[in-house]
């Protein structure tokens, strides 16, 4: 089976997720919006590429007729994919011990996260929709957007905290609603030291149930 580009895999993941969660395939316009376009032709171009590579089937004259082929289903049922895991740190204060490992279904991510953290008491970030008990998935590579939700290390306490990183021309602003942390200006050169990564997903359904509820404590730094 022919390999997929990153964007093609993202489209295929989106289609698989829509079918699995909503019990129906997306429209071509919804596919286009998934890749950030309002042009239906953009969505159709990616669908046609996936059809040529053998991952999709479609009836052109019928609405919502996209279907996953056997090759695509095999891709999502591959046991090696289901074994993908990331280091998981349930605590934000611990300074010793080893992280547990949390299984991550690859369909949820175009690029797999580097580690996961559980939000402890008093560490929620309401303006970003982050609540106590949530599990945050973090990628160490930052985006180039003007503002993003990140995990940073408090230079005083060493604790890992969620916050907003706002980019300026020369200086960056690090902002968090957590009590005791003032809004701070930081130099661009300090980003790699303070910021541990950006939050790419929040899983609320995993919290307080299943194996993640009793995972051993890990160190404060991933």
For residue 175, being part of any structural domain is answered with yes
H/E segment holding residue 187? strand 184-187
For residue 90, being part of any structural domain is answered with yes
Q: Last residue of a domain, which of 17, 44, 77?
A: 77
Q: Last residue of a domain, which of 77, 103, 132?
A: 77
Q: Are residues 59 and 15 in the same domain?
A: yes
For residue 222, being part of any structural domain is answered with no
Q: Are residues 90 and 63 in the same domain?
A: no
Nearest C-alpha neighbor of 89 from the set 116, 61, 107:
116
Q: Are residues 56 and 99 in the same domain?
A: no
Q: How many domains does the chain have?
A: 2
Q: Are residues 136 and 27 in the same domain?
A: no
Q: Are residues 39 and 113 in the same domain?
A: no
Q: Are residues 135 and 177 in the same domain?
A: yes
Q: What is the pLDDT of residue 29?
A: 92
Residue 211 burial (C-beta neighbours within 10 Å; 0-12, 13-18, 19+): exposed
Q: Are residues 130 and 192 in the same domain?
A: yes
For residue 45, being part of any structural domain is answered with yes
For residue 1, being part of any structural domain is answered with no
For residue 221, being part of any structural domain is answered with no
- Give the residues across from 164 on adjacent strands: 149, 175
Domain of residue 86 covers 81-214
CATH number, domain with residue 144: 2.10.109.10
Could you list the pLDDT tens digit for every one of the 222 residues in the chain? Answer: 568 888 888 899 889 888 877 878 899 999 999 988 889 898 899 999 999 999 999 888 788 889 888 888 777 765 444 446 677 876 554 443 466 777 776 656 666 788 888 888 888 888 888 888 888 989 888 887 888 999 988 777 778 889 899 988 778 888 887 767 778 888 888 888 889 899 988 887 533 443 333 333 332 333
Q: Are residues 196 and 115 in the same domain?
A: yes
Q: Are residues 51 and 108 in the same domain?
A: no
Q: Are residues 104 and 54 in the same domain?
A: no
Alpha-carbon distance of 100 to 216, in angstroms, equals 6
CB-side neighbour CA atoms (13 Å) of 114: 12
Q: Are residues 185 and 86 in the same domain?
A: yes
CATH number, domain with residue 33: 1.10.10.10
Alpha-carbon distance of 181 to 174, in angstroms, equals 10
Residue 120 CA: distances (Å) to CA of 21, 57, 65, 92, 211: 29, 45, 44, 7, 17
Q: Last residue of a domain, which of 77, 94, 123?
A: 77
Q: Are residues 93 and 69 in the same domain?
A: no
């Amino acid at each position: 089976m022919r390999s997929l580009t990153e964007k093609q895999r993202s489209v295929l993941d989106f289609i698989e997720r829509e079918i699995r969660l909503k019990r129906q395939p997306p429209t071509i316009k919804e596919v286009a919006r998934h890749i950030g376009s309002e042009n239906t032709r953009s969505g159709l171009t990616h669908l046609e590429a996936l059809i040529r590579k053998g991952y999709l089937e479609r009836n052109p004259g019928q609405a919502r007729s996209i279907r996953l082929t056997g090759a695509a289903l095999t891709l999502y049922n591959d046991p090696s994919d289901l074994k993908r895991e990331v280091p998981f740190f349930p605590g934000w204060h611990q300074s010793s011990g080893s992280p547990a490992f949390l299984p991550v279904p690859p369909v949820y991510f175009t690029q797999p996260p580097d580690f996961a953290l559980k939000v402890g008491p008093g560490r929620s970030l309401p303006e970003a929709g982050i609540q106590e008990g949530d599990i945050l998935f973090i990628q160490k590579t930052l985006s180039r957007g003007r503002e993003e939700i990140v995990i940073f290390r408090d230079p005083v306490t060493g604790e890992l905290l969620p916050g907003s990183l706002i980019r300026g021309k020369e200086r960056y602003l690090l902002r968090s609603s957590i009590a005791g942390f003032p809004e701070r200006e930081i130099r661009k050169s300090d980003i790699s030291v303070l910021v541990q990564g950006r939050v790419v997903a929040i899983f609320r359904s995993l919290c307080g149930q299943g194996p993640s509820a009793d995972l051993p404590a890990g160190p404060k730094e991933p």
